[in-house]
A and B are shown apart, each in its own frame.
Chain A
Amino acid sequence: MAADRRSSWLKGVLDLLVLAVLTEGESYGYEISKALAAAGLGEIKGGTLYPVLNRLEEADLVVGEFRVAERGPGRRYYQLTGQGRRALAEQSASWLEFHTAVRTKLSSTHPGGAS
């Protein structure tokens, strides 16, 4: 139940989180997934992450480039575009505003929270 709820929350903000990871520099699928897990967001399956990366690329918010590796099958590296940076800034502000409203409401009804 708790995992389902977290998964549902994540669905609305995963695009932003991926863009946020890419502000630290270019990255590839598994590394992005690891960064999100390290940030406490839980394990993101490839089946969830890759359609998001495709969507961001189609919207010109990130650009992907496949590079052949000396060892292994090669990787597709993703980089944030200028449009992606602007979208991240605007949508982050909207998300934080929403988060603040939720937090304020929940805190006001929580026994240990603010009145």
Chain B
Amino acid sequence: MSGNNGDIAGGSGIQSGDYFAELAGCLSAAGLSQEQVATTVADLRGYLAESESTDAYEEFGAPRTFAAGLVEGRVADEPDAQAETWKWATDIYADRQLLNRYGDQGWEVEGLDRLGRFVCRRDAQAAMRWEYRREIANNAKERESVAAGLALDAWEPCGHWLYFMYFKRPKAASAGPAAELDDLVAPPAKQLFLSGRYRGKLKQFAAAAVVSGTVSALVLSYGGDGVFLPFLIASVVAAPVGGYIGWSRMKREITAAEEA
């Protein structure tokens, strides 16, 4: 795999055989299979030979840093028995902040379940920091377009809910070796996080429901038989209109917050 190439690496003074041996060690430690390591090193040896360079260090940089770039985003073939899982839910006003907070603790979002919870895993043996972002896409075509645009910067879709798309990427993509995670914080006990803003909106909604319920009861009790049908028609029309206005307003607020 690492071979015995004894070429002296020019400026660095390191033999290229030693360089590739160290690189192979880094790739193995990062979880690549023997075959993947062997083919990667063979390909790089070929590159170096064709470029007529004798200095692998000068061509590829420090083995550890280069190996990190070569394995970024690659997923281990077999799930790790040491992996922890955690499902949690939040609202649209706190999601990004919480995703990034827990991403910093090594939690990787694998998707959203039917209840809208983030399904996360963390490999206790090889945890790394993750960063997240949220985008807006109204349909499948827009989702595909947004995903293709972000893929170039190593962002990978990790779930969508209504018209929100969530993306993840290893923090090493933006922070390099500084993104390594040494100590693991214990998994949070909570599974539901509601922001103050969301709780405020729930209170407003509850108050509106109480008022409209009371008014409806009074109208039906004291309005007589002639009021029932017009009231029913008005209710059938008002409910979807009110729902649409509320949804549009929330969507406008979120869009404005995304653009800010």
Contact = CB atoms under 8 A, between A and B. Distances in A.
Interface in B132-165: 144-145, 148-149, 151-152, 154, 156
B59 A45 contact: yes
Interface stretch (B67-75, B179-187, B219-227): B67-75
Given A47-B61, A55-B72, A58-B73, A76 B39 contact: yes
B152 A45 contact: no
Of the listed residues B73, B149, B151, the one surrounded by the most CB atoms of chain A closer than 10 A to its CB is B151
Interface residues of A, number: 31
A15 B115 CA distance: 37
A16 B152 contact: yes
A38 B149 CA distance: 27
Nearest to A59: B151
A74 B151 CA distance: 28
Interface in A54-110: 54-56, 58-61, 66, 69, 72-76, 83, 86-87, 90-91, 94
Contacts of A60: 151
A42 interface: no
B207 interface: no
Nearest to B61: A47
Contacts of B69: 47, 50-51, 54
A87 B148 contact: yes
Contact of B44 (A46, A58, A86): A46
B109 to A, nearest CB: 17
Of the listed residues B47, B49, B70, the one surrounded by the most CB atoms of chain A closer than 10 A to its CB is B47
Interface residues of B, number: 31
B208 to A, nearest CB: 43
B46 A87 contact: no
B163 to A, nearest CB: 20
B43 interface: yes
A74 B59 contact: no
Contact of A73 (B45, B70, B145, B154): B45
Contact of B73 (A15, A55, A69, A91): A55
Contacts of A30: 46-47, 50-51
Contacts of A15: 152
Given A46-B48, A47-B61, A51-B69, A59 B43 contact: no
A74 B48 CA distance: 12
**Top 10 closest pairs, chain A to chain B, by CB:** A51-B69, A59-B151, A58-B73, A47-B61, A73-B42, A47-B60, A66-B39, A87-B148, A76-B43, A30-B50
Interface of A: 15-16, 28-30, 33, 45-47, 50-51, 54-56, 58-61, 66, 69, 72-76, 83, 86-87, 90-91, 94
Given A28-B43, A56-B152, 4 more contacts: A29-B46, A51-B72, A54-B74, A59-B156
15 contacts: A29-B43, A29-B46, A29-B47, A45-B61, A50-B69, A50-B70, A58-B73, A59-B73, A69-B46, A73-B42, A73-B46, A74-B39, A74-B42, A90-B148, A94-B149
